[in-house]
Structure 1
Amino acid sequence: MQTKSVTLSEVYDVMMEMLNNGGTVNFNPRGTSMLPTLHNDGDRVVLKKFNSLKKYDLPLYLRDNGQFVLHRVHNINADGTFNMCGDNQWNLEKGIRPDQIIGTVISIQRSGKIIKVSNPLYRIYVVLWVKTRILRRIIIGGFRKFKQKIRNR
């Protein structure tokens, strides 16, 4: 069986039709912004239609510039917008509107295993990962400075 890679923008209309009809959509995310949760080399996510989001959910959304992004909900603002951040990023992307949300990840497929986002162990991992974002930035930043000082000697 041959496979062909396509961009989400190429299949957007079909994807929306499937989600709006109660189906799910599978795709392989690209990039490193969601490491270590999502890997660029074979992980697959399963999306369902967006109904509502909670903190720690993993939605696919469309930026105003047309870019598709799969990042985690860090905060829900009083005006109903969301602050998102990739698991491998430090800075929040603020003000994502509900009309930009396409779907929500319900499971991750890796090496033949299915990880449901409702799994209690996954939820614990996600909460700990999000809550240590600032601490991880300090530790990793300090480590990078230390490495740089060693190299410059």
Structure 2
Amino acid sequence: MADAEGDRITLSALQDTQAIQGQTVILPTALGVAPVETTGDPRIEAGWFDNGLKRARKELGQADRSVGDERLPVLIVTRYLVDGTLHEDRAIYDLGFALDGQLLGGTRVRIRGLSLITRVPAASGQAKLDARWKQLHPKLAS
């Protein structure tokens, strides 16, 4: 669930019998942002990727404001326990966001929500993530 300010979204286990041990949040290569590790507090924070996202959108010729929800694909690797056994899930999600104007200019990334797109094997995760980025954010004609 996204917080009221849109600065972060809290992630939770799908079932009460699961306990999340940690997550790795991987962003599209185009953003130039290193993967982020979480432990004990599963979440995604806008500050992790906001500058990279705004820069990548600018390079693609996209507007620095949004009209409604935009989508940023993310790959989330979740390590969790079920009855004492460690499991791992790898999936691509679309992170919903908006770009809002600020009083002194510029834009602010506000997180809206998260939607599952597909589960992926370890070997093809980054390639599928980058393909999803290109699908959602094509370069505009100059």
TM over 0.5: same fold?
no
Name the larger-Rg structure: 1
Greater relative contact order (CA < 8 Å, ≥ 6 in sequence): 2
Q: Normalized against structure 2, the TM-score is what?
A: 0.27
Give the number of the structure whose residues are more often strand, by fraction.
2
